[in-house]
Structure 1
Amino acid sequence: MIVACILVIFPFCLTFAAFTDLFTMTIPNRVSGILLCAFVVVAPLAGLGVGQMGIHIMAATLVFAVCFCLFALKVMGGGDAKLLTASAIWFGLNLSLVEFLLYVSIFGGMLTLAVLLLRKQENTILATGIPVPALLLTAKKIPYGIAIALGAFAAYPSSPLMQAAFARLS
């Protein structure tokens, strides 16, 4: 059952966050809350000790500190900052966190370019009737929850919790 939780909760929450960000330009607080609470429950059951959990909490704290500064500078949205923090706790303070953040930045850059290109072609898109969420064309924000989710999906197999799940399956 613990393996199922590891394989389902994190990806489901990130998928939900990406879709809500795409269509509403907001990420519900409950998604980040569920991710944090689920980690606290799942991590000890997956075999992470108190020390290892502390390292994961340090990773989230570090990411939160950076995100808070970016939010204060109005570079990052609050929902994005909370989702990135809640996701970071699942990776811990190791190379999988670096991998996750690198993927998020790559997908974020690609997403930003794609959204800017879409917005530049707004009249053509509207004239042809291509179904694109209206907020994607009109909002001044980028739905960065999509990049966070894609980065997490790309890096999740190397995360300590996924490694624990694979070890249990073996």
Structure 2
Amino acid sequence: MLNDIVAVLVLAAFPAALAAAAMSDFLTMKISNRLSLALVAAFLVLAPLVGVTMVDLGLSLVAALIVFAVCFALFAANIMGGGDAKLLTAASLWFGFDQSLIAFLVLVAYSGGAVTLLFLFLRVKADLVMSIGIPLPVSIVGTNKIPYGIAIAMGGLMAFGTSPIAILALKAF
């Protein structure tokens, strides 16, 4: 019974947090620090309960630190927002230090390209879109930035099934 509850929490917490981050970034161009911290805390609590070994937990932390270092450099160069960097770091914990992390990062990059193209198109056609009664949030018309939290969520949701923690959680059923 407890294993089923933990498995459901694992399979629900990550997607729910990413969906909330994407929606927040889309509507406000901000991702709450609490959301990234909640992702980290949920992983640190749930991973051992679902069967992630201490070695793999440590490797997940190493992977997240590497992702953070790259994200920090991108943030310092004003290429990536701080909320995006923290969300990507927190999400990377859930993929460990294996091929699922690579899949996640590649899917985030592809999703980022698609989101960027969509937002550029919508900005060019904003007057037309709004003239037919579709409201556009400030993240589309009020800035030249891209809410990359959407791409992080898309990549995370697509790759989550390959993550070691999701695979362990699915074994409970």
Shorter-chain TM-score tier: over 0.9
Cα drift, residue 134 of structure 1: 3.1
* Structure 2 unaligned spans of 5+: none
CA distance in 2, matches of 1:49, 1:100: 21
Tell me the equivalent position of 1:153. 157
For residues 65-115 of structure 1, what are the alpha-carbon distances to aligned partners after superposition, in whole Å with 9 as ceiling and x for unaligned?
Answer: 000000000000000000000000000110000000010000100000000
Q: Which piece of structure 1 moves more, 115-124 or 27-36?
A: 115-124
Amino acid at match of 2:20: F
2:78 corresponds to which residue? Answer: 74
Matched-pair contact (CA < 8 Å) for 2:10–2:166 = yes
Instruction: State the alpha-carbon separation in 2 of the partners of residues 88 and 127 from structure 1.
Output: 40
User: Which residue does 1:21 correspond to in 2?
Assistant: 25
- Deviation at 1:31? 0.6
Which residue of structure 2 lines up, in the alignment, with residue 52 of structure 1?
Answer: 56
- Cα deviation per residue 1:34-71 (whole Å; 9 max; x = unaligned)? 00001110010011121110000011001000000000
The count of aligned residue pairs is 169
Question: Could you report, residue by residue, the CA deviation over 1:134-162 in whole angstroms, capped at 9, with x for unpaired residues?
Answer: 33111121011010001001000010011
Q: If the length of structure 2 is used for normalisation, what is the TM-score? A: 0.95
Instruction: Measure how far apart 1:127 and its partner are.
Output: 2.0
Paired with 1:135 and 1:128, the residues of 2 have a C-alpha distance of 19
Residue of structure 1 aligned with 2:10, choices 6, 13, 33: 6
Distance in 2, Cα, partners of 1:166 & 1:135: 36
Deviation of the 1:120 alpha carbon: 0.8
One-letter code aligned to 1:36: V
Matching residue of 1:93: 97
User: Unpaired segments of 5 or more residues in structure 1?
Assistant: none
